[in-house]
Amino acid sequence: MLSQKDAPRTVIFDVDGTLLDSVDLHAMAWVDAFHDYGHQVRFEELRRQIGKGADQLMPVFMTAKEIDEFGEELESRRGTILNERYLPLITPFRDVRALFERLRADGKQIALASSARKDELATYKKIANIEGLIDVETSSDDAERSKPYPDIFQAVVERLGGGSPQRMIAVGDTPYDAEAAAKAGMRTIGLLCGGWSAEDLKRSGCIAVYKDPAELLALYAASPLA
């Protein structure tokens, strides 16, 4: 646990798989979109890439030539499929709003750093019932490169007007969150609700791992947040 003088002033949350039970649905939307463009991608392989933005995900399954030719169209198709088929199925994990309210009561700033697009992020805030509790947010629209690159977290620091990354802590569900945050000079708390194992998250640099937002809230006083 961090000492009191090093306790974080800002907590930066990933969204998909961290606040929302949406990883499988995002994976299915990508699988469907790839299928529409003649690519048969296995769900299990695709799911392991969720947490990255499209700029980092597509090269895993497509050639540079294919990305140049129809990558933008495929990504747009993925967004359409998500909205039409899967968005109504996305739900928040338990106690997300309560955790945010606890952080606010504790005097913390709250930020979102998501690989989602800006318009998607607005919808996700409504689903998670956290509108009005966020100080700063960044999306894939604010970063040249998505996770596991640090751009999105660095954009949060800029939006906050600077400050020491050592006094900021990320909360995410994938190794990509931890890797990106570490490159930005931040520690990361890992959550298991996105489907990665505790070993995966610790190996990627997470300083603590919890089951989900509800467990992090229940153990708040003894967590790196306090």
| pLDDT per position as a tens digit, 40-75 | 999 999 999 999 999 999 999 999 999 999 999 999
Residue 1 has pLDDT above 50, yes or no: no
Gap between the Cα atoms of 174 and 196, Å rounded: 6
The mean per-residue pLDDT over the stretch 2-19 comes to 85
pLDDT of residue 206: 98
Q: Which of 42, 70, 71, 43 lies closest to 56 in space, CA to CA?
A: 71
In the DSSP assignment, the letter for residue 52 is B
Rounded to the nearest 10°, the torsion over CA 147, 63, 118, 20 is: -60
**Arithmetic mean of pLDDT over the chain:** 95
| Alpha carbon 96 to chain centroid, angstroms | 14
pLDDT of amino acid 4? 53
Residue 170's nearest CA partner among 206, 216, 220 is: 206
Please report, as a single letter, which amino acid is at residue 186: M
> In the chain, what is the straight-line distance between the N-terminal and C-terminal CA atoms, in Å?
9
DSSP summary character for residue 145: S
Output the pLDDT for position 140. Answer: 85
Please report which confidence band the pLDDT of residue 116 belongs to, taking 50, 70 and 90 as the band edges: confident
